[in-house]
Amino acid sequence: MGIVMKGADVANAMKEELLQRVAGLKEKGVSPCLAILRVGARPDDLAYERGAKKRMELLGIDCRTVELPRDIRQEIFEEKLKELNEDGRVHGILLFRPLPGHLNEEAAKRIVDPGKDMDGMCPANVAKVFAGDDTGYAPCTAEAVIELLDHYKIPLSGKRVVVVGRSMVVGRPLSMLLLKRHATVTICHTRTRDLPGVCREAEILVAAAGKARMITQDMVGEQAVVADVGINVDEEGNMWGDVDFETVQEQASHISPVPRGVGSITTSVLAKHVVQAAERQTDNE
Ligand code: NAD
């Protein structure tokens, strides 16, 4: 039976270090601050916002929400984003996406100050992640997987890692973060031939496809490490990962559950980014 990799254990370990860094900033008179920019009130955004606020509060990081009406015009929306860029008290910005269809998300990605872009969405941060330059910010979920594997002391160098999913928020940036750590990475997607065969070869398998329980026992090699990023909610409101946990656990060496796995680490990575941003902005003054 594989060891269950619990997100809360990772978040708790991160908490100790972050509390010290926040205290260090406060000694210098700096109060790290995250601004959440939310357009409308999607239940998913509200749920994430509650979790993020709780985590920031626990760590002594200020968190304010700017809520904009769902039907806001592009110009006004862009103005609000620029105001946050220019506000010296705000160190990091989190913009909830997807934006309502009438808003231009690509434009927003180009407006946000790369130094405040806490979820690694702007082109400058994407480029840094792809170049293996860690002076930028990666998407929080992708980095949360690295935090999970590091916490459980899973070596990455030289390992055969298969990532299922190639989105710009999870699969691709995560693959680049793994590559920076010298893993041998295979990226799979909907057109991959013989997905089960490719997955079986993995020493570390990361599922980020958004398909409930699609990774079945026959797709996992003996003693593989399995990280599940998927969040799939069925009609009854139950949450499932991309991995068929019960059967896969039998042969994995380590496995992360859903819920209480990778998803419980994301807000800690967000907090880490805010602290990093506050430190960097203070050093640059
Ligand atoms: P996405 O839909 O943008 O991308 C999914 C990717 O998986 C695509 O590249 C697609 O090619 C691939 N894929 C889909 N079905 C596949 C299949 N049957 N076989 C092989 N590849 C397949 O999704 P996303 O935004 O990357 O999110 C992926 C999952 O992670 C979702 O369940 C999402 O809810 C979850 N997620 C979790 C967190 C978190 O905090 N834990 C954050 C973001 C996303």
The model's pLDDT over 103-154, given as tens digits with 9 standing for 90+, comes to 999 999 999 999 999 999 999 999 999 999 999 999 999 999 999 999 999 9
Same domain flag for 148 and 257: yes
Sign of CA dihedral 36, 273, 203, 167: positive
Residues with CB under 6 A from ligand 1: 141, 164-167, 169-171, 188-190, 192, 195, 208-211, 214, 229-232, 262-263, 266
Among protein residues, the one with the nearest Cα to ligand 1's atom 17 is 190
Task: Tell me the whole-structure pTM to 2 decimals.
Answer: 0.98
Q: What is the pLDDT of residue 246?
A: 97
The model's pLDDT over 196-237, given as tens digits with 9 standing for 90+, comes to 999 999 999 999 999 999 999 999 999 999 999 999 999 999
Composition of the chain by helix, strand, coil, percent to 5: 45, 15, 40
Same domain flag for 253 and 166: yes
Long-range contacts of 68-73 (CB under 8 A, 24+ apart): 68/37, 68/38, 68/39, 68/40, 69/39, 69/40, 70/39, 70/40, 70/41, 70/100, 71/100, 71/102, 72/39, 72/103
Q: What is the pLDDT of residue 283?
A: 87
Q: Which among 175, 206, 231 is the best mutation to test ligand 1's pocket, defined by most ligand atoms within 8 Å of the CB?
A: 231
The CATH number of residue 254's host domain is 3.40.50.720
Nearest ligand 1 atom to alpha carbon 242: 32
Among protein residues, the one with the nearest Cα to ligand 1's atom 8 is 165
Total of domains in the chain: 2
- 181, 156 contact by CB (below 8 A): yes
Nearest ligand 1 atom to alpha carbon 210: 32
Collapsing DSSP to helix, strand or coil, 14 comes out as helix
Same domain flag for 83 and 189: no
Q: Which among 229, 233, 242, 266 is the best mutation to test ligand 1's pocket, defined by most ligand atoms within 8 Å of the CB?
A: 229
> Per the domain annotation, does 280 fall within a domain?
no
Q: What is the pLDDT of residue 60?
A: 98
d(CA 75, CA 56): 30
Among protein residues, the one with the nearest Cα to ligand 1's atom 42 is 141
Residue 161 reports pLDDT greater than 90: yes
Range of the domain at 61: 29-116
Q: What is the pLDDT of residue 227?
A: 99
Q: Which among 140, 167, 169, 211 is the best mutation to test ligand 1's pocket, defined by most ligand atoms within 8 Å of the CB?
A: 167
> Per the domain annotation, does 98 fall within a domain?
yes
The helices-and-strands tally (H runs, E runs) of the chain is 10, 11
Residues annotated within the binding site are 165-167, 231
Among protein residues, the one with the nearest Cα to ligand 1's atom 16 is 190
Residues annotated within the binding site for NADP(+) are 165-167, 231
Residue-wise burial string across 175-196, b where 16 or more C-beta atoms lie within 10 A, e elsewhere: bbbbebbebebbbbeeebeebe
- 229, 206 contact by CB (below 8 A): yes
Same domain flag for 165 and 232: yes
Q: What is the pLDDT of residue 27?
A: 97
Q: What is the pLDDT of residue 138?
A: 98
Among protein residues, the one with the nearest Cα to ligand 1's atom 43 is 141
> Per the domain annotation, does 144 fall within a domain?
yes
Closest residue by Cα to residue 280 from 136, 65, 67, 69 = 136
**Where residue 284 falls among pLDDT bands split at 50, 70, 90?**
confident
> Per the domain annotation, does 159 fall within a domain?
yes
Q: What is the pLDDT of residue 285?
A: 73
- Report how far ligand 1's centroid is from the alpha carbon of 51 (Å): 21
Q: Based on the number of CB atoms within 10 Å of its own CB, is 88 exposed (0-12), middle (13-18) or buried (19 or more)?
A: exposed
The model's pLDDT over 51-103, given as tens digits with 9 standing for 90+, comes to 999 999 999 999 999 999 999 999 999 999 999 999 999 999 999 999 999 99
Same domain flag for 145 and 258: yes
- Report how far ligand 1's centroid is from the alpha carbon of 174 (Å): 12
The CATH number of residue 39's host domain is 3.40.50.10860
Q: What is the pLDDT of residue 15?
A: 98
Among protein residues, the one with the nearest Cα to ligand 1's atom 13 is 209
- Report how far ligand 1's centroid is from the alpha carbon of 125 (Å): 21
Average pLDDT, the chain: 97
Q: What is the pLDDT of residue 7?
A: 98
Same domain flag for 38 and 77: yes
Among protein residues, the one with the nearest Cα to ligand 1's atom 34 is 231
Does residue 98 have a cis peptide bond before it, meaning omega lies within 30 degrees of 0?
yes
Same domain flag for 172 and 251: yes
Same domain flag for 102 and 178: no
